[in-house]
Amino acid sequence: MFERLLGWSGRIPINDPVDRRNAVFMQWLFVFEGFRTPLNKIYMLLFDWSYLQSTYYDQAKLSPGMAVVIDLGTDVAMTIAAWLGLYLIRLGRFHLAVGEYLAVLLGSGIIAYAAFGFSLGASSDQILIVVLALAALMLGRKALWMSYMMIMLTFIVGMTSNYIFSRAMYVTAGPYGELPSLALDYVQIVVILDLSVTSLRKGLAESNAHRRQLQHEMTERERAQEQLLHAQKMDAVGRLASGIAHDLNNVLEIILGFTTERDRIDDSVTERNKDALMKDALVLADALDGIELAARRGSSICRKLLSFSRSDVTHVESFDATDALRELQPLLRQSLPPTVRLSIDVPDMPLVINFDRSQFELALLNLAANARDAMPNGGECSIAVAQKDSSTMVLSIHDTGVGMSKDVRMRIFEPFFTTKPSGSGTGLGLAIVYSLIDRAGGHIEVSSAFGAGTTFHIYLPVAIAKAVDALPA
């Protein structure tokens, strides 16, 4: 119940974060005062009437009956002002709500001091201090000093009432003899509130400025991250270019080889028998099938390269990691020299993950390039995918290269750290891989020793619901 009330008080159409927080407090204050003021007066009328009559009503400057009317009237006005303030806050009019409530309090104070005089009105000083605090904290400097001036006016009205109805009291001292000391006392309170609230607001403004600057820097960092990822893709494309050109050349040689089959058809078709024509037609059909297959293979290689190299922003999607690895196999093959054998082991069941697909491919290509560099004399690069448990899959990349020491293994994910000669590496490949895996909610581990090769284990959360949907019926 209490949590529901807190949630209700926080659902207000106020955009400014400071006003929104203050509005939550003011709502509860309005509710409290909306009940306290009338209930307290009812209690006093029922159980302390004699005290009210002897202390206040009979001592009022006006008649006792008029004093009762003024007392009850100001309490009713303050009660209405409290509930009206709550209503205005629910409409999003925070400053208006606080302003009208303070105006009613100050107006009621002036009326009370006029009716009961300054000495009897001194018990309401607590309310005047509350007015100053609310004006400073909720509305700011201008409202604070305006409230101070209204309080001084209230004291003047009370002292004037005393002078009009009790002139004998001021034979030796004027009617406003206490005003200077009161003005100094209250101005001290106002200055303290003013300086304190101004410091708080300046500190908040500086904090907001730092927050906006941090958000800007984070945005710039994300943009730089995207540009770095694209640069890494372009670097991978450059490494793949020679292999792609070799494959495309093979495709074109196959197409050219099949096109020579047209020479089997003579210009003098009429002199050939029907069987020979049918045989040549079948050979030509086979040649056209071969041309189509070769052309499709070349087109597939080009599309994959273009898709990988495009400069898209991060786009997380759900896809089957096993299918992605199968489709990436040609590019993985191209990233390795002929002396390195590539083996890929994937399960039959789908393993759906949430990842940016091009970044997933970039991570694998970077790890394959790392394996290539670790095997200058050739070897084997093995990539395997398996399900570790119901919520995690593991992707392992193993090479039979030279391995690495413990010191190097502890630093391989540091940006710009590399063991390659100058000009042979940037030291960003594995740092990028680590960042991508971490952003996807996974983690990466490495095991290596001199002469025993290196194995990277990438653990990624499985999109369980979608993986279940993808299972064959």
Q: What is the full DSSP assignment across 305-349?
A: HHHHH--PPP-EEEEEHHHHHHHHHHHHHHHS-TTEEEEEE--SS
Task: Tell me the mean pLDDT in the region 281-298.
Answer: 65
Last residue of a domain, one of 149, 177, 205: 177
**Residue 256 included in any domain:** no
**pLDDT confidence tier of residue 300, bands split at 50, 70 and 90:** low
Which of 126, 143, 177 is a domain's end point?
177
Most confident of 53-67, 162-176, 188-202: 188-202
Residue 442 is predicted with a pLDDT of: 92
In a domain, 286, yes or no: no
The amino acid present at 291, given as its one-letter code, is I
**228 lies in a domain?**
no
Instruction: Identify whether 420 is part of a domain.
Output: yes
- Whether 171 is covered by a domain: the verdict is yes
273 in a structural domain: no
The structural domain count of the chain equals 2
CATH number of domain containing 342: 3.30.565.10
| Host domain of residue 379 | 317-473
What pLDDT, on the 0 to 100 scale, is given for residue 338? 85
Domain end, chosen from 177, 204, 227, is at 177
SS3 at position 15: coil
Mean pLDDT calculated for residue range 161-180? 69
Looking at the domain assignment, is residue 257 inside a domain? no
User: Tens digits of per-residue pLDDT, 242-279?
Assistant: 555 555 655 565 566 556 555 555 544 445 566 666 67
Side by side, the strands of the sheet bearing 443-448 are 340-345, 379-389, 392-399, 454-461, 443-448
Euclidean distance between CA atoms 117 and 122, whole angstroms: 9
Whether 223 is covered by a domain: the verdict is no
Mean pLDDT on 67-79: 91
